Structure 1
Amino acid sequence: MLSVRGLSAGYGGMMAIRSLDLDVKAGEWLALLGPVGAGKSTLLGVLAGLVPARQGEICLDGEDIRFLPPHRRLRLGVALVPEGRRLFSGMTVRENLMAGTHALADPAIRRRNLDRVCELFPVLAERTRQIAGTLSGGEQQMCAIGRALMASPRLLIIDEVTLGLAPLVVKSLFTALVGLHEQGITLLTAEQNVPLALAHADRGCVLSGGAIVMEGPAKVLRDDPDLPRHFVGY
């Protein structure tokens, strides 16, 4: 589905990712792993169109989308849940969710997607009129994921889904992601919790210093003795 070749990007004079190659197959769950500062968020931002690529190709179903703006990529089915959730904190839960539908012209699809999100996260159905900024951290993450799902994505990119959340909430979120994966949505998730990510993903790749240093099936990668040396506190 997604093919990245020779991708480089950065900020100012600093290169965060360098000549990176990456493939994401349709229907798979790919876990993007790596220590803080490895370039994970930069890579996901580049894929979503929020960070410009300095060189390389980003192909979706064979079409180079490198120069497409974020809203055009969203219409092609690429949706990002950013690190820190980035909700409109002064708006209601419903308003935040509906903000994810601006790429959809059909009101029936919008209603269907809203029902789907509320079924996936029942707590959001109970709090559609609540101001998003007053939700708990876990509920805000559910709202952020729900907002991305409102766009009917084929490729759902999530940056640090479990960051700062309680174990019970983490378990609930991963249960939801497993359900989305079973429905055929392709997942690309950046995650600090390495064991949890590799326990659920089909495949993993480790980013360090802006380059992919390890990749393979999740079960194989999980047992690789070289894996821990790429992390601090793993």
Structure 2
Amino acid sequence: MIEDDTSVAEMMGMFFKKENWEQDVAVDGIEAVEMFKANAKKYDLITLDLNLPKKDGIQVAKEIRQISPTIPIIMLTARGSESDQVLGLGVGADDYVSKPFSPIALIARIKALHRRVMMEETQFKEEQTQISDDFDIKTDHLKISKVRREVLFDDHAVTTLTPKEFDLLYTMAQKPKQVFSREQLLELIWGYEYYGEERTVDAHIKKLRQKLEKVGPQVIQTVWGVGYKFDDSQINK
């Protein structure tokens, strides 16, 4: 838990203890990054306050993501601060909770997020036994292997995709030109137990586009008032 309010950290510590969870607390941004860098594999999940001394939560999230693209992060934001929530999701947070929050609600979100991560890891391990050189999806310009989590755009690798960014691309590329609403993408990728809101999808789409643009033209299109679609059929060879 990265939190400079010791009363909040102590309160949550009591609730975590009831769940038999162990908690480490960092009280500022610099300490948080140093603690995680020193022993990243020790942690299963991070709660991250946005307003931290020495280094704010956005910068902390960026640096943690450089160390681990997959560690689940729940960001704690001020109530009604929509710009902070979108920014936090954009730099790699998986979910957010508005302050003041209910300890029970935070526990529920932690359980839901951890459960999704464990399911994804189990599925990945099972698929590892079936690895081949084939690609599951081949479009005019894109090749995707779900087992290897590999994406090629005109044979150029698309790197550093987070699990959710990969899943978004994979889901839409399976059905080129089909428009997916934000609600559909939330259900398909985050699952019915996801507690977030539709702007979560927008934030992840933005990051996905930025990474795709490093290797080629944009293939994720916005259909205004509806949602998003994948279409690379109009790109010149």
Give the TM-score normalised by structure 1.
0.27
Higher helix share: 2
Which one has a bigger Cα radius of gyration? 2
Higher strand share: 1
